[in-house]
Amino acid sequence: MSSKVYRADARAGYRENLFDKLSRLLSEGNLGKTVQRGDLVAVKTHFGEKGGHAYIRPTFLRRVVDEIKAVGGKPFLTDSCTLYPGERKESVSALACAVENGFAFAVAGAPLIMCDGLRGHSARRVEVPGEVLNSVDIGLEVLEANTLVVVSHFKCHELTGFGGAIKNLGMGCSSRTGKMEQHGNVAPTVKTERCTSCGACIRVCAHDAITSEKGKAVILPDACVGCARCITICQDRAILINWGSESALVMKKMAEYALGALYGKKGKALFVNFVTQVSPSCDCYGHSDSPIVPDQGILVSTDPVAIDQASADLVNRAVGLPQTALANGHEEGGDKFRGVHPDIDWQVCLEHGEKIGLGSRSYDLIELQPKGKNW
Ligand code: SF4
Ligand code: SF4
């Protein structure tokens, strides 16, 4: 059965700006039915890494917060600690980074509460009917909230092809243990002939999982948690992940984690995807590269699989932008995700999500009608 996905394109003018379009979209997308008066509403988003700028602007979150309040909900913004070391590895640093990125109460109009506690271990295990996992470790405050509104920046991703609602749910709502469980089977390898012995990967690895033999980096699979930090730090592209089946396994586990994050939220979850500034990599890096396609707008749905499928289809239908990380697939209909990350079968996440009952890949796209021509 098809799910409904509502879309507002990215055009704006004097009759209606993008904030007002977002309000109309939330109303048409049934925010009023998802949130009941008095509900504590977890608005799960990504607060952005220090140095990045592709994350959703806090002023858009403010509009989501205002609309939740208008229907009687009590919203709070939430995110989780990262598995890798960086500006967001525990709550104190993560919240300081969030405020630096503009996610302050004064801007967003709601408090910031990390969903997995001080160090990313405040969580509860919930059972899931998965194919790989039968239980998952979800941040406690996501489970405690009455309603979940998942506001995701849709972009490419080096491990899963793309990141959107499913990733924000599965990876983003899991505890540190959960993130390790999802990444755990992925150990990169070093292409020795490319290694210039700079030592950058050894310094960045927080798990002492890289050593040096005869001057060349060597990864110790037993110590590696699969955080992928070393891959991007290596300027010589000497560190490679066994992408094939390994990344597929991460995607399957992530979809199963997404199912767990929705535990107890039947009819109480709404997804908002910003298909804007579609950058080539994860927002967890301390930089954001140029977008690979023009902005495709904002989508709303109650189905995390349908909204991600619709977002991916919009990206692939667009004409790719030149002078970006997109290496091929620029033509209309070309595979933009493979064009950036050629070895990732990004469809696995959607296929598995549908298979385990997370949602439907078929959807009806309902376009928000413009309020007259206004440019
Ligand atoms: S960062 Fe790359 S080039 Fe430098 S030591 Fe590690 S693998 Fe070798
Ligand atoms: S070896 Fe690389 S992927 Fe493994 S834990 Fe260290 S930085 Fe992360």
Kindly write down the DSSP assignment for every residue of 333-366, as one continuous string: T--HHHHHSTT--THHHHHHHHHTTS--S-EEEE
pLDDT at 187: 76
- 121 or 313, higher pLDDT: 313
Strands 123-127 and 135-139: antiparallel
Three-state secondary structure string covering 153-177: ECEEECCCEEECHHHHHHCCCECHH
pLDDT at 14: 87
Ligand lying closest to the C-alpha of residue 195: 1
Q: How far is the CA of 200 from the centre of ligand 2 (A)?
A: 12
Atom of ligand 2 nearest to the CA of 188: 3
Ligand lying closest to the C-alpha of residue 233: 1
Q: Cα dihedral angle (58, 64, 68, 69), rounded to 10 degrees?
A: 50
Euclidean distance between CA atoms 240 and 2, whole angstroms: 38
Q: How far is the CA of 299 from the centre of ligand 2 (A)?
A: 34
pLDDT at 100: 96
Per residue in 361-373, pLDDT (tens digit) is 999 999 999 886 6
Calculate the average pLDDT of the chain.
Answer: 93
Domain 3-185+248-367 homologous superfamily, CATH: LarA, N-terminal domain (3.40.50.11440)
241 — pLDDT class (breaks 50, 70, 90): low
Per residue in 48-105, pLDDT (tens digit) is 999 999 999 999 999 999 999 999 999 999 999 987 656 787 899 999 999 999 999 9
Handedness of CA 328, 159, 241, 87 (dihedral sign): positive
Q: How far is the CA of 219 from the centre of ligand 1 (A)?
A: 11
185 — pLDDT class (breaks 50, 70, 90): low
- Domain limits, the chain: 3-185+248-367, 189-239
The finding on whether 255 has its CB within 6 A of some atom of ligand 2 is: no
Give the percent of the chain with pLDDT over 90: 79
Q: How far is the CA of 316 from the centre of ligand 2 (A)?
A: 31
Q: How far is the CA of 204 from the centre of ligand 1 (A)?
A: 11
Q: Which amino acid is at 222?
A: D
Per residue in 20-44, pLDDT (tens digit) is 999 999 999 999 999 999 999 999 9
228 — pLDDT class (breaks 50, 70, 90): low
Contacts 24+ apart (CB under 8 A), 124-129: 126/260, 126/263, 128/256, 128/257, 128/259, 128/260, 128/263, 128/356, 129/259, 129/356, 129/357
Per residue in 157-172, pLDDT (tens digit) is 988 999 999 999 999 9
Using most ligand atoms within 8 A of CB, pick from 192, 236, 240 the residue to mutate for ligand 1. Answer: 236
Using most ligand atoms within 8 A of CB, pick from 231, 239, 240, 241 the residue to mutate for ligand 1. Answer: 239
CATH number of 189-239: 3.30.70.20
pLDDT at 374: 56
Ligand lying closest to the C-alpha of residue 185: 2
pLDDT at 186: 63
CA-wise closest residue to 346 among 292, 296, 308: 308
Tokens linked to 286: 């301390």
237 — pLDDT class (breaks 50, 70, 90): confident
Average pLDDT over residues 326-340: 97
Angle between helices 243-261 and 347-355 (to 10 degrees): 40
Per residue in 243-266, pLDDT (tens digit) is 444 889 999 999 999 999 999 999
Atom of ligand 2 nearest to the CA of 241: 3
Q: What pTM value is reported for the model? A: 0.85
Average pLDDT over residues 273-277: 98
pLDDT at 244: 43
The finding on whether 201 has its CB within 6 A of some atom of ligand 1 is: yes
pLDDT at 87: 74
Average pLDDT over residues 205-234: 86
Q: How far is the CA of 178 from the centre of ligand 1 (A)?
A: 28
Ligand lying closest to the C-alpha of residue 225: 2
Euclidean distance between CA atoms 331 and 168, whole angstroms: 28
Nearest Cα residue to atom 4 of ligand 1: 198
